[in-house]
Amino acid sequence: HALTMREMDDISGGENYREKTILTAVDEPDFRDPRLSDMVQPKGRKTPMTPLEVIRALLQPGEIINLYSKISELSGFSDAAVKEIAKN
C-alpha cells in the first residue's frame, strides 16, 4: 500500500518536513487548465485550495518524495553534489 502522510512524517523524522520543502517550488501554481481549476476551487467551496492541498490531492506521499528528490537532484542538491562541494 502507499504510505500515508503520517507514516511519511514518522519516517522523515519531522512533521510535514518534505511537504514544507516541496512547497518552496510551488508558490504560485498556474491553474489555466479548467480541469485543475475545478479541482482547486470546487463548487461550494469559498476559498481555493492551498498549494499543499493541491499537491496532496494530486499525488501519493511516495510520489511527493520522488518529486522532491528529482527537483533536488536537478537543482544540484544531490548527495553527489554535496560530496563534490565538500571536497573543494
- Chain segment 42-80, per-residue pLDDT in tens: 667 777 777 788 788 888 888 888 888 888 888 877 777
pLDDT value of position 49:
75
Show the 3-state SS of 60-84: CHHHHHHHHHHHHHHCCCCHHHHHH
Residue 81 grid coordinates: 553534489
Parse the chain into domains and list their residue ranges. 5-87
Per-residue pLDDT band at 22 (split at 50, 70, 90):
low
Please count the other Cβ atoms lying within 10 Å of the Cβ belonging to residue 12: 14
pTM above 0.85? no
